Amino acid sequence: MEERGFTEEQEALVVKSWNAMKNNSGELSLKFFNKILEIAPAAQQLFSFLKDSKVPLDQNPKLKPHAMAVFVTTCQSAVQLRKAGKITVTESNLKKLGAIHFKAGVAAEHFEVTKLALLETIKEAVPEMWSPEMKNAWEEAHDQLADAIKSEMKPSS
C-alpha cells in the first residue's frame, strides 16, 4: 500500500469538523447509514441484522449501535491519522473488520458508497465549515481506513 500524506491542514479540518459533530454522532450515524442505503439499496443485504428484517430501519434495535460504531470509528480514525501516521484501528480490530467485510461479501466499490454517504453527512452536519479542502481531507481519511480494511479482507483463519 503506497504511503499517502495527510497534511496538517487536512488534520485541522477533520478535527475541527469532528469536534463540531461528535455530540450529535448518534443522529448523524443514522443519517450516514440511511444515505448508504439510499445510494445503494441492495447494500441492505450485506448486513446480517437487516437482511431478512421486516422492521422499519428506524426501529431496528441493532441499526443504531452498528451505525454509531461505523461512523464514530471512521471519524475517530480520521482525527488520529496524522498523529499516528497511519490508521489507528488496532491490528486485531482491523483483521476482524476485514474478515467481517469479506464474509459479508463487501466489494471494493462498496467503500465508494460509504465515502459518498460520509461526505454528504458531514456536509449537511457542518455546512458553514464545508469546503473543497474539507471534502478532500475527509476523502483522504476515509480512503486510508478503507484501504486498511480492504487489505485485511480475506477468509478468517
Q: What is the CA radius of gyration of the chain?
A: 15
Q: What is the pLDDT along the chain (157 residues), one digit of tens a residue?
A: 344 577 889 888 988 999 999 899 889 988 998 999 899 888 888 887 877 778 877 788 888 888 888 888 787 777 776 666 555 565 567 677 777 777 777 888 888 999 999 999 999 999 999 999 999 999 988 888 888 888 888 875 5
- At residue 49, the pLDDT reads 80
Helix, strand or coil, per DSSP, at residue 156? coil
pTM comes to 0.82
What does the DSSP 8-state code read for residue 22?
G
Q: Which three cell numbers stand for residue 78?
A: 480520521
Domain with residues 8-150, CATH architecture:
Orthogonal Bundle (1.10)
Domain boundaries, the chain: 8-150
CB 141 within 8 A of CB 6: yes
**Alpha helix ranges (H) inside 3-150:** 8-21, 25-39, 48-51, 63-84, 91-104, 108-125, 132-150
